[in-house]
Structure 1
Amino acid sequence: MHNYVALLRAVNVGGTGKLPMSELKSMCESLGFAKVRTYIASGNVVFESKLSEASVKEKLEKCLDAYAGKPVGVLVRSAKEMAAVLAANPFKSAAPNRTVAIFLDHPPPQDAVADARGRQDEEIALGVREIYVHYGNGMADSKLKIAAAKNGTARNMNTVAKLAEWANS
């Protein structure tokens, strides 16, 4: 069995994509995932599966599409990868609630930082399949747009730490 973290895009954010976490848990269990736990109401789920990452992603996206009637993006990381995302955070001394990892399916393009628009005091760094952003003054008034992050989903470092802990326990 493999331990995974699945991160759903645009779920329960700003009143769009409503999905009760109890429904997400039931979906995952119906797909044969074991030890399913959800974390906060923003589309985070930790579970075990004997399937590959690609198979987990495909099955969960199909199930969510059937439920929502539209595609719901899913980013999947193994327990080891989630721990590595946390360890690789280049902004460890910054407030974890003002630092995010934007999870992507593929490595970010090398020009992602240079192509960012609306940058003010934000710091940006590239990861393996992530883009890290530290919002010095918080996210509320940020105008930052990162084209490479369009199909990604962000989680702050507090959430990343909790998901890494759960996936590795």
Structure 2
Amino acid sequence: MTEYIALLRGVNVGGITVKSADLRDLFESLGFTSVRTVLASGNVAFEHGGREASAKVKARIERALGDRFGYEAWIVLITRERLAAVVGAFPFDERLEGWHPYVLFGSDAEHLEALADAAGELDPGDDVVVAGDGVLYWHNRRARGIDSAFAKLAAKAVYKRTTTNRNLRTLHKLLAP
């Protein structure tokens, strides 16, 4: 049995509404077990006992999301074990007052590299970005939030199909039993 976490990109924003109960029902209809949604931003923890490769599981979920909710779905599919390693490697003080702890996930290594390179020009008083193993760790000053230089860069259309970010607190909730 493999424990997975699916991080959906772009749901419950921009007119794409997916209710947690509907999302849970969809994953259960695909034969997954122990399905649990976390928050209303497209986070699903589940188990899969099949021998299907992760890439096929990911493609099957994306196709089902698109069919059911009428949008071009893209997800990050990660094992619970891998997510725990990513969270455990967070290089900043996640409890630092006045800062948001984020992890930016991506499916295109070139896009992650471009974002990491651009991060070298950021004001470290607002955004600090460090490359991790297939992710970017991002500390964002709360007072700047989505108006920060890195937030605006990461939101560019070129990155929308290949990246999604999550607050570290959400990732901890996904890892909780």
Fold agreement, TM-score > 0.5: yes
Closer, same or farther in 2 for the Cα pair 1:143/1:115, shift >3 Å?
A: closer
The match for 2:4 is 4
Give the drift of 1:67: 1.5
Give the drift of 1:107: 4.1
d(CA) in 2 for partners of 1:116 and 1:138? 15
Greater helix proportion: 2
Task: Please tell me the residue identity of whatever aligns with 2:145.
Answer: M
Structure 2 counterpart of 1:115, from 96, 100, 118: 118
Give the drift of 1:131: 1.1
Closer, same or farther in 2 for the Cα pair 1:82/1:122, shift >3 Å?
A: same
Root-mean-square deviation (CA, aligned residues, Å) is 2.4
**Secondary structure, in 3 states, of the residue corresponding to 2:122?**
coil
Question: Which residues in structure 2 correspond to 1:2-151 (within 5 Å)?
Answer: 2-13=2-13, 15-50=14-49, 51-95=52-96, 98-107=100-109, 109-116=112-119, 119-120=122-123, 121-136=126-141, 137-144=143-150, 145-146=153-154, 149-150=159-160, 151=162
Name stretches of at least 5 consecutive residues in structure 2 with no aligned partner.
none
Give the drift of 1:94: 4.6
d(CA) in 2 for partners of 1:138 and 1:73? 28
Task: Please tell me the residue identity of whatever aligns with 2:168.
Answer: M
Give the drift of 1:93: 4.7
Closer, same or farther in 2 for the Cα pair 1:36/1:111, shift >3 Å?
A: same
Closer, same or farther in 2 for the Cα pair 1:124/1:149, shift >3 Å?
A: farther
d(CA) in 1 for partners of 2:39 and 2:30? 21
TM-score (norm 1): 0.86
Would the aligned equivalents of 1:106 and 1:129 in 2 still touch at CA under 8 Å?
A: no
1:159 and 2:174 aligned: no
d(CA) in 1 for partners of 2:54 and 2:69? 22
Give the drift of 1:162: 1.2
Work out the percentage of aligned pairs sharing the same amino acid: 32
d(CA) in 2 for partners of 1:152 and 1:9? 8
Closer, same or farther in 2 for the Cα pair 1:149/1:127, shift >3 Å?
A: farther
d(CA) in 2 for partners of 1:101 and 1:7? 12
Would the aligned equivalents of 2:6 and 2:43 in 1 still touch at CA under 8 Å?
A: yes
